Amino acid sequence: MDSKDVEAVERQLGRPPRGLREVAHRCPCGNPDVVETAPRLPDGSPFPTLYYLTCPKAASAIGTLEGSGLMREMQARLATEPELAAAYQAAHDDYVARRDRAAEEQGLEPLPRDMQSTGGMPLRVKCLHALVAHELAAPGSNPFGREALDALPDWWSDGPCV
């Protein structure tokens, strides 16, 4: 990963990033806003979050959505909309497959099959930050990530976060 990107991510997070593999998505301002991380940290401990949202402006806007009750509404829809539940299951499967490929590329043992993917998938909606990061990194992959993105303001419009 380019050293300028690493520096930007460190400023965004306020700490050194762990397990960085690459920039998975760039904000329209040009900075990274999602990074791909290794499925295992250098000490071998599992790190199930493959796509990590780094932009504090995006994170703040998503936090506002979370506070609005949107996740409860999404969760309720999983029980009443079978096509949506199937798409969310497919998002989970996509995430795990991508994470397994990342482990293979790095010569790491994949994470256990029963380990969570991200954001509560496939049965719960528990973190819009993670679902949005997945959708930004792999457009068209996460239905709730897409819905949340569509509900967000243009967080970059008043300039870069760092």
1 token code pair: 């990963």
- Count other Cβ atoms within 10 Å, centred on residue 55: 28
- What confidence tens digit (pLDDT) does each residue in 96-151 have? 999 999 999 999 999 998 888 999 999 999 999 999 999 999 999 999 999 999 99
Question: What pLDDT sits at residue 1?
Answer: 87
Question: What pLDDT sits at residue 97?
Answer: 96
Question: What pLDDT sits at residue 36?
Answer: 98
For residue 8, pLDDT over 90 is answered with: yes
For residue 14, pLDDT over 90 is answered with: yes
Burial code (b: 16+ CB inside 10 Å, e: under 16) for 121-148 equals bbeebbbbbbbbbbbbbbeebbbbbbbb
Contact 38, 47 (CB under 8 A): yes
Maximum separation of any 2 CA atoms in the chain, in Å: 47
Percent of the chain with pLDDT over 90: 96
- What confidence tens digit (pLDDT) does each residue in 51-73 have? 999 999 999 999 999 999 999 99
Residue 46 carries which DSSP code? B
Domain ranges of the chain: 3-151
- Average pLDDT score over residue span 21-42: 96
Give dist(CA 47, CA 39) in Å, integer: 5
Residue type present at position 64: T
Q: What is the CA radius of gyration of the chain?
A: 15
Q: In angstroms, how far is CA 77 from the centroid of its own chain? A: 21
- Average pLDDT score over residue span 6-30: 96
Give dist(CA 74, CA 1) in Å, integer: 35
